[in-house]
Amino acid sequence: MSLFRCPLCAAPLEREAGAYRCKAGHSFDVAREGYVHLLPPNQKHSALPGDDRDMVLARRKFLSRGYYQPLLNTVCSRMSAVSGEAPVLLDAGCGEGYYTAGVCQALRAAGRRPRAAGTDISKFALRTAARRERAAEFAVASSYHLPLADGSVDVLLNCFSPLALEEFRRVLKPGGAFFYVVPGAEHLWEMKEILYDKPYPNDEKETPYEGFAYREIVPVEETVTLESRADIQNLFHMTPYFWKTPRAGAERLAALETLTVRTSFRVHVFKKL
């Protein structure tokens, strides 16, 4: 039985040869990469929602260089500490599956037997995710309409993705863990100084959410040197700054061969009440 539910009638889905099907007769084909499309047309806001092919490629190349490995290590260690022997994990807004795969591998290395699912609205991202972690299920789906049953998830990860609190409360079991990863105040500050005449820090605050209790807030701070123009441009392309930077700032960044920059994250860990 799949972790996913039918997006049309909410019935359980079973994966058969090449498709997911429910008892009501709804069927959803599995793409050759291994993901399934569970985003109904009335939940789509464009023909190709989510990150495009170029952004996904830039993020895949950048993350493969290990610059965000400290963040992945922190998430893995904290998640291992709150996970049981056979946890059900959901990565909501999983992108190309870097964190999904990393967590699954870490849990298996610790002797756990995770069942994992990842959702994202970008089919381009899921093409990579499904290839990266074959043991997990991946679906094109909105975080605001998750195709999972009530109380079916032990651990939910949301890394730089939309905060769909109502759905997260619905799918998490009582006592389940919610990991919410956000940038720290001075994340990529040196890059922002090049891009903008007057950069400003990110908002950073402790925010209580209804139905959740804080376990901890874990800071992850590193200084990294991007070793090539390609690394710099890949990082730039995977951030929101790519879409809202004046041309002069983008040209200043494009002229650099290397860049030393701070990476700053906050991992907010909650318990579902």
Q: Domain for residue 5, yes or no?
A: no
Q: Domain for residue 1, yes or no?
A: no
- What pLDDT is stored for residue 188 in this prediction? 98
Is the pLDDT score of 48 beyond 60? no
Q: Domain for residue 153, yes or no?
A: yes
Q: Are strands 19-21 and 14-16 parallel, antiparallel or unpaired?
A: antiparallel
- What pLDDT is stored for residue 205 in this prediction? 87
Q: What is the mean pLDDT of residues 44-59?
A: 78
Q: Domain for residue 150, yes or no?
A: yes
- What pLDDT is stored for residue 245 in this prediction? 93
How far apart are the C-alpha atoms of 238 and 242, rounded to whole Å?
Answer: 7
Q: Domain for residue 229, yes or no?
A: yes
- Secondary structure in 3-state letters for the chain: CCCEECCCCCCECEEECCEEECCCCCEEEECCCCCEECCCHHHCCCCCCCCCHHHHHHHHHHHCCCCCHHHHHHHHHHHHHHCCCCCEEEEECCCCCHHHHHHHHHHHHCCCCCEEEEEECCHHHHHHHHHHCCCCEEEECCHHHCCECCCCEEEEEEECCCCCHHHHHHHEEEEEEEEEEEECCCCCHHHHHHHCCCCCCCCCCCCCCCCEEEEEEEEEEEEEEECCHHHHHHHHHCCCHHHHCCHHHHHHHHCCCCEEEEEEEEEEEEEEC
Q: Domain for residue 226, yes or no?
A: yes
Give pLDDT tens digits for 206-252. 889 999 999 999 999 999 999 999 999 999 999 999 988 999 999 99
Q: Which amino acid is it at 121? A: I
Domain count, the chain: 1
Q: What is the mean pLDDT of residues 10-20?
A: 94
The chain-wide mean pLDDT, for the chain, equals 95
Q: Domain for residue 28, yes or no?
A: yes
Q: How many residues does the chain have?
A: 273
CATH at residue 183: 3.40.50.150
Q: Domain for residue 7, yes or no?
A: no
Give pLDDT tens digits for 118-167. 999 999 999 999 999 999 999 999 999 999 999 999 999 999 999 999 99
Q: Token pair for residue 168?
A: 């997260």
The alpha carbon of 158 is separated from its chain's Cα centroid by a whole number of angstroms, namely 6
What confidence category does residue 69 fall into, taking pLDDT thresholds of 50, 70 and 90?
very high
Domain limits at 146?
14-272
pTM for the predicted model, two decimal places: 0.95
